[in-house]
Amino acid sequence: MNKQQLVVKTSVKFFQAPLFQPFRIATGQHDHLENILFTIELKDGTKGYGEAAVATHITGETIDQTLKNLKSIALWLKGKSIDDYLDISVQLHERLPHNQSAVAAVEMAIFDALTRYLRIPLWRLWASTPKRVRTDITIVIADLEETKAKTKEFKAQGFRAFKIKIGRDMDMDFKRVEAVSNIAPRAQIILDANQGYSARQTLQFLKSLNKIGIVPDLIEQPVPKTDWEGLKQVTRESKVCVCADESASSLSDALRIIKEKAAGAINVKLMKTGLVHALEISRFAHAAGVKLMIGGMMESNLAMTTSAHLAAGLGCFDFIDLDTPFFIKGEVARNPYLSTQGMYDLSKVKSGIGVVPLK
């Protein structure tokens, strides 16, 4: 055992930041970024950072429970060697089966520390050169005027892919999608219902859009996460690619989707599965010809850039949805690897994730 790779210190810290606008989806909203920073330090002084982004309205996790779990894991992790990361990952999933954002935070910190210790960027674990990846931008649920204003603002900023949140009001959703398409007629359009529709409503909605010449590139999680037959029906009957998000909340979920051809794409999120399982989902889906999206919850640059490393290293993601830094106010939003147009260029990362959280 290399004693320099032993975890000797840990810390757990709640942090928050204001948003430019509430991040509204069909099932709820974020009014602030409220996440947890998990830090480890090795015997040689190397540090690693991880982030738990708690989305209660999506996953049911809570800040209090995640803080409690991470404090417990912090004690358990001391004295362990980070080169045992696979065994640690297995034990994390056993200990925290219903708190995957905590698993993500710990695995993120371990991989950050390990690649900092090795003096290589995180993406180097999967590729010799990183692929540059460009994120879409989310148009959250809002009234028509706010939708138009934000679309114009983001288009002027240089975005060319828009992810439109829908799922609360079909009539208003239709008007909002039409407005975005009119303002940015050559842009990529992704719809995300966040479980807000039934299969019948989804097919009707897509048919109505088709009548006015709008064919989205993707529709994400149109039906409730447990409605597997509805998901399959939309996948089977729609010409638009269907992406599973909430229905793909674990490695076993993803394998079921692949086997049963329940969706044409899977949204991979570290906060749903942790980093190790996210990597496995990506590899299985890509091998099976299932398209991939990389996404996240309401995350700061630490977690978002970690996901960008995964996408840049694997190079197999068809849709990039790593835009939450553009919704965050203040210093926590700064990222030297992310352009104002949404391009992640990680070639300048010297080691680890490359993001050191604010103290």
Q: What is the CATH number of the domain that holds 47?
A: 3.30.390.10
Residue that is last in its domain, among 75, 96, 119: 119
The answer to whether residues 138 and 196 belong to one domain is yes
The answer to whether residues 62 and 79 belong to one domain is yes
Cβ atoms of 130 and 347 closer than 8 Å: yes
| Domain-located, residue 351 | no
- Better-predicted residue by pLDDT, 267 or 3: 267
The answer to whether residues 24 and 138 belong to one domain is no
Q: How far, in Å, CA of 352 to CA of 356, rounded?
A: 10
Q: What is 151-209 written as a DSSP string? A: HHHHHHHT--EEEEE--S-HHHHHHHHHHHHHHSTTSEEEEE-TT-S-HHHHHHHHHHH
Tell me, what's the pLDDT at 286? 98
The answer to whether residues 150 and 219 belong to one domain is yes
Report how far Cα 341 is from the mean position of its chain's Cα atoms.
18
Is residue 15 predicted with pLDDT exceeding 90?
Answer: yes
Q: How far, in Å, CA of 81 to CA of 93, rounded?
A: 18
pLDDT (tens digit, 9 = 90+) per residue, 143-200?
A: 999 999 999 999 999 999 999 999 999 999 999 999 999 999 999 999 999 999 999 9
The number of beta carbons lying within 10 Å of the beta carbon of residue 154 is 25
Mean pLDDT of all residues in the chain?
A: 95
* Side chain identity at residue 87, one-letter code: D
Residue that is last in its domain, among 90, 119, 148: 119
- Better-predicted residue by pLDDT, 84 or 29: 84
The answer to whether residues 304 and 278 belong to one domain is yes
The answer to whether residues 155 and 75 belong to one domain is no
Q: In the predicted model, what is the mean pLDDT of residues 31-56?
A: 95
- 82: nearest Cα among 10, 166, 161, 184: 10
| Domain-located, residue 352 | no
Least confident of 58-62, 221-225, 275-279, 307-311: 58-62
The answer to whether residues 109 and 132 belong to one domain is no
Domain of residue 304: give its range.
123-344
The answer to whether residues 174 and 313 belong to one domain is yes
- Per-residue pLDDT band for 4 (boundaries 50, 70, 90) equals confident
Tell me, what's the pLDDT at 28? 85
Tell me, what's the pLDDT at 330? 78
- Per-residue pLDDT band for 213 (boundaries 50, 70, 90) equals very high
| Domain-located, residue 305 | yes
Q: Which pTM value belongs to this model?
A: 0.96
Tell me, what's the pLDDT at 332? 59
pLDDT (tens digit, 9 = 90+) per residue, 27-36?
A: 888 888 999 9
Tell me, what's the pLDDT at 359? 59
Give percent of the chain above pLDDT 90.
91
Q: How far, in Å, CA of 92 to CA of 346, rounded?
A: 28
The answer to whether residues 146 and 76 belong to one domain is no
CB-neighbour burial class of residue 210 (10 A; exposed 0-12, middle 13-18, buried 19+): middle
| Domain-located, residue 354 | no
Tell me, what's the pLDDT at 109? 98
| Domain-located, residue 355 | no
Give the dihedral sign, CA 259/274/32/327. Answer: negative
Is residue 358 predicted with pLDDT exceeding 90?
Answer: no
Q: What is the CATH number of the domain that holds 269?
A: 3.20.20.120
Tell me, what's the pLDDT at 333? 65
Would you put residue 354 in left (φ > 0), alpha (ψ -120 to 50) or beta? left
The answer to whether residues 23 and 70 belong to one domain is yes
pLDDT (tens digit, 9 = 90+) per residue, 100-130?
A: 999 999 999 999 999 999 999 999 999 999 9
| Domain-located, residue 127 | yes
Is residue 289 predicted with pLDDT exceeding 60?
Answer: yes
Overall residue count recorded for the chain in this entry: 359
* Side chain identity at residue 311, one-letter code: A
The answer to whether residues 100 and 219 belong to one domain is no
Is residue 1 predicted with pLDDT exceeding 60?
Answer: no
| Domain-located, residue 358 | no
| Domain-located, residue 169 | yes
Tell me, what's the pLDDT at 224? 97
Q: How many domains does the chain have?
A: 2
Would you put residue 167 in left (φ > 0), alpha (ψ -120 to 50) or beta? left
Strand 218-220 versus strand 242-244 pairing type? parallel
The answer to whether residues 107 and 196 belong to one domain is no
pLDDT (tens digit, 9 = 90+) per residue, 241-264?
A: 999 999 999 999 999 999 999 999
Residue that is last in its domain, among 119, 147, 168: 119
Cβ atoms of 141 and 165 closer than 8 Å: yes
Give percent of the chain above pLDDT 70.
98
Show the 3-state SS of 254-319: HHHHHHHCCCCEEEECHHHHHHHHHHHHHHHHHHCCCEEEECCCCCCHHHHHHHHHHHHHHCCCCE
H or E element at residue 42: strand 28-42
Q: Which residues contact 343 (CB under 8 A, 6 or more apart)?
A: 132, 133, 134, 135
